[in-house]
Amino acid sequence: MHHQVLSRYNIERVNNGLEEARLLNLTKHGVIREAYYPDVRNINFEPFPYRDNNTELIDAGNTNITYLQTIYTRLKTALMDNYFITPNNSHVEMNTDLLGDTTESSSLKSANHQYYGSFHNYLHRLIAGIGIQEPGKHIPGVQAHPETSMRDPVFYEIHSLVDSLYLQEKENCKPYTKLELDYEGVDIRSVVIESLNSSRYVWWPPLVPNFSTPTITTYFENRRYDVSTGERPCRSTNESPVYVTNSRLNHFHFKYITRLRVKNNLPHEAHAMVRIFLLPIRNFKGSSYTQQQSYSRAIELDRFQTNLFPKTQTVLTRLSLESSVTSVSEMNSLPFRNCGFPNNLLIPKGTQHGVEYKLFVMLTNEPNIEEYPNYAYCGSLNKPFPDTRPMGFPFDRPNTNFKQPYPWFQRYLYKNVKFTTIRVVHKHDAYHV
């Protein structure tokens, strides 16, 4: 999930003319380039410390940079050797799950908690101890709290560094084979994006560019929030509710229309998982990403199951509001419905002239698995994760190829895969009326 959050953040930076987040410079006298002024108070109503531009990394409490460098070196060595060293000095083979347990420091599941420590958590703790605050105060910074850490740009430098470990681990994996990627008998004929525009919005300026490429529109809206429960701890339940209005990014909802031709020779229906990703095309300088660079930055838009009936033409329709990777704004009684990425941020902010992406749709052969809304990030309560493929599939492994190059053209290797170019346009302020 952190990889997806990082990819989304970097796409937003690129669309605003900024370079992607760098890896945290974990060295003595390394600096955090970007300042951060939280203007937020903790639960005790104490102001969080702030940070100026080019703040130097220093030891914070019992978390020191030299120790973190040692842990980082040990993890990199384990990745190169493809095994961890256990407490009894034996070797256990490297895999993604064990790497996660070790960097996140599950003392029960870590390969060797004493030796490899808790790299991810220690990084947040180090940064949380750096900052300028009132004399005599020693208040941990926003990186000590999950509720506030993502507001700080350094969060993404931390996760760029952590993510680099997982990318290195994936480089040890072989590319997916044809058997793993193909779905024999399923042919995606077309994928169409249909925007569901609403008359509840007023546009300025009123002129809308006419694009032949399928287009999704983003905009800023004014949103009212009930902050009564967070106003103050001693607030009486009999007092009137307190609301604030804030501007937030949103998009016109849309639907995917996928036309399939299914050649299912079995006497019964088959099950499939539909996987939808958005792939960036250009970096902040306007240069094109290589295929592998684009794949590694893919953001997941949706993942859901469907039934395929034998020897039929099938049309699948899916609303963007139904995405399994997002949550809704309002509380909902459905299990896990508030887990996931905010639905209003499903689509990265566009630009006035539009940002082009590749929309990727893939169907894979999967057993029928019980799923909850928003399971893509959070899984199902007290049950195995409802997908037989790794998170991020099929872009989680490098060098996976969907095209076969020829001297005069390129053709797709798999009929169960479809790439479509779309454009994301941002309109000037749109307000509820």
**Phi first, then psi: what are they for 331, rounded to 5°?**
-65, 145
3-state secondary structure of 11: helix
Q: How far is CA 123 from the centre of its chain?
A: 20
Candidate CATH numbers 3.30.43.10, 1.25.40.10, 1.10.1280.10, 3.40.50.300; the one for domain 2-170: 1.10.1280.10
Burial of 416 per CB tally in 10 Å (0-12, 13-18, 19+): buried
Inter-residue contact 56 to 29 (CB < 8 Å)? yes
| Strands 341-342 and 326-327, bridge-based pairing | parallel
Give the Cα separation of 237 and 125 in Å (integer). Answer: 36
**What is the structure's pLDDT at 333?**
44
So where are the chain's domains?
Answer: 2-170, 178-432
**What is the structure's pLDDT at 79?**
95
Q: Which two tokens stand for residue 51?
A: 């940070």
**What is the structure's pLDDT at 108?**
81
**What is the structure's pLDDT at 431?**
54
**What is the structure's pLDDT at 205?**
39
* DSSP 8-state assignment for residue 132: B
**What is the structure's pLDDT at 12?**
95
Q: Which two tokens stand for residue 117?
A: 């420590």
**What is the structure's pLDDT at 155?**
95
Angle in degrees, 0-180, between the axes of helices 154-170 and 96-103, rounded to the nearest 10: 150
Could you tell me the sign of the dihedral formed by the alpha carbons of 424, 426, 431, 433, in that order? negative
Give the Cα separation of 128 and 318 in Å (integer). Answer: 42
Candidate CATH numbers 2.60.40.1520, 3.10.450.50, 1.10.10.10, 1.10.3720.10; the one for domain 178-432: 2.60.40.1520
Burial of 330 per CB tally in 10 Å (0-12, 13-18, 19+): exposed
Angle at Cα 411 formed by Cα 406 and Cα 413, nearest 5°?
Answer: 110
pLDDT of the chain, 433 residues: tens digit per residue:
889 999 999 999 999 999 999 999 988 788 999 999 998 888 888 888 899 999 988 888 778 899 999 999 999 999 999 999 999 999 999 999 899 999 986 778 899 999 999 999 999 999 998 887 777 677 888 998 888 899 999 999 999 999 999 999 998 888 898 889 998 888 888 888 888 765 444 333 334 455 578 899 999 988 887 777 655 555 555 677 888 888 889 999 898 887 767 676 656 778 889 999 999 999 998 899 998 899 999 999 999 988 888 777 888 889 998 898 888 655 444 544 567 888 899 999 999 889 999 999 999 988 777 666 677 777 777 777 778 898 889 999 887 777 654 443 345 578 889 999 999 999 876 555 3
